[in-house]
């Protein structure tokens, strides 16, 4: 049952990046759009994420509950040493959701709509940025849990060049996912060209920032290169992620926009697999070389057992309805956005 719980944990983190990350990317795409196109992009993004955007936070909630109930030491350690970026990330989620609701559903349309838009785009940048920073801190071994100094323990453990580069890379990934997902529901040629330009832009930015992450990891003596390329699985995952770019070009030329979504998701999954495969089952590394492992840090067998049962039964009851909800709204959007015959 332990491995079932761990599988759900990694799946929820992955799905949050793929689905919730694409929602954050909607605000990022709006942020980088030119002034003349920003209103157009805003309408496109609202049509895409409006009905189901809140449901994507379910994956984050599942991951938090799994850590809290099944791996309390890992949960408490992350909550303690990462409390600043966690709070900033959660504030970003709250501010983004609030601004999105007031901007699109406020009964009074006034100058505050511009304020809501600025909050929405800024929060869409902040949230994935700190999500990437937290992820970088868990694998980089930058947390010093022996020092009594506040800055060393609770600030510099995450606020460092590697964390910042990883946060920026996560932002670029979210913008890329949003652009690819959105292009599948568009029918207007100008909108398609607009999203195509964004896809190319975010791919270039992600490649540059990805290289920067590896370069900074080398400078800070973080064994990221060994961790990613030190196994056949990691090498294969990176190779497949790279080859997926060729598949994206072929699909784009053939105007198979919906299939591009699956390739983009596959790319991100392969990148995550390459990073975590060598790191597993370690979830959190420390500066002194010690670590917290998912295979060792379990609350008790009874908690893991019942947590696994709850996850399995909940999947049977909830997931079909959730995916049908997303499918229904997606089908409706494609139909409504298609040109009439």
Structure confidence at residue 81 (pLDDT): 92
* Domain membership flag for residue 265: no
Structure confidence at residue 331 (pLDDT): 58
* Domain membership flag for residue 321: yes
Low-confidence ranges of the chain (pLDDT < 70): 47-55, 107, 297-299, 326, 328-341
The pLDDT tens digits for 106-134 are 767 777 888 888 899 999 999 999 999 99
- Which residues span the domain enclosing 120? 2-224+300-337
- Report how far apart, in Å, the C-alpha atoms of 300 and of each of 197, 212, 260, 307 are: 51, 41, 43, 11
Structure confidence at residue 270 (pLDDT): 92
**Contact predicate 39/194, CB 8 Å:** no
Beta bridge partners, 285, equal 291
Residue from 160, 249, 241, 164 nearest 200 by CA: 249
Structure confidence at residue 334 (pLDDT): 45
Structure confidence at residue 186 (pLDDT): 78
* Domain membership flag for residue 266: no
Structure confidence at residue 213 (pLDDT): 94
If one counts the domains in the chain, the total is 1
Count CB-CB contacts under 10 A for residue 306: 13
Whole-angstrom distance, CA of residue 173 vs CA of residue 41: 18
Degrees, nearest 5: CA angle 243-134-224 = 45
**Cα 324 from chain centroid?**
22
Residue from 202, 204, 225 nearest 214 by CA: 225
* Domain membership flag for residue 10: yes
**Contact predicate 235/229, CB 8 Å:** yes
* Domain membership flag for residue 42: yes
* Domain membership flag for residue 43: yes
* Domain membership flag for residue 245: no
Structure confidence at residue 49 (pLDDT): 65
* Domain membership flag for residue 247: no
């Amino acid at each position: 049952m332990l491995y079932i719980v761990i599988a759900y944990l990694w799946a929820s983190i992955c799905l949050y990046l793929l689905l919730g990350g694409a929602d954050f990317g909607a605000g990022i795409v709006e942020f980088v759009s030119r002034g003349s196109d920003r209103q157009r992009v805003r309408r496109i993004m609202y049509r895409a994420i409006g009905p189901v955007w809140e449901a994507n936070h379910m994956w984050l909630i599942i991951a938090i509950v799994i850590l809290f109930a099944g791996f309390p030491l890992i949960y408490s350690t992350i909550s303690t040493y990462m409390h600043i970026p966690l709070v900033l990330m959660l504030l970003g989620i709250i501010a983004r959701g609030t601004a999105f609701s007031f901007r699109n559903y406020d009964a009074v349309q006034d100058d505050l709509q511009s304020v809501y838009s600025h909050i929405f785009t800024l929060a869409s940048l902040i949230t994935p940025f700190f999500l990437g920073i937290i992820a970088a801190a868990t694998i980089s071994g930058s947390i010093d849990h022996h020092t009594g100094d506040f800055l060393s323990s609770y600030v510099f453990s995450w606020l460092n060049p590697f964390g910042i580069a990883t946060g920026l890379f996560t932002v670029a990934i979210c913008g890329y996912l949003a652009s690819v997902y959105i292009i599948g529901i568009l029918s207007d040629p100008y909108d398609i060209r607009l999203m195509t330009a964004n896809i190319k832009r975010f791919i270039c930015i992600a490649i540059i920032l990805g290289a920067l992450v590896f370069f900074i990891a080398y400078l800070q003596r973080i064994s990221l290169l060994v961790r990613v390329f030190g196994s056949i699985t990691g090498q294969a995952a990176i190779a497949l992620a790279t080859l997926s770019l060729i598949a994206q070009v072929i699909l784009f030329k053939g105007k198979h926009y919906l299939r591009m979504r699956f390739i983009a998701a596959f790319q991100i999954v392969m990148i995550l697999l390459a990073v975590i495969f060598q790191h597993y089952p370690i979830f959190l590394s420390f500066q002194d070389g010690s670590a917290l492992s998912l295979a060792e840090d379990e609350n008790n067998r009874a908690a893991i057992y019942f947590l696994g049962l709850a996850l399995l039964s909940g999947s049977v009851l909830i997931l079909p309805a959730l995916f049908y909800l997303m499918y229904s709204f997606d089908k409706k959007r494609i139909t409504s956005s298609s040109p009439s015959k």
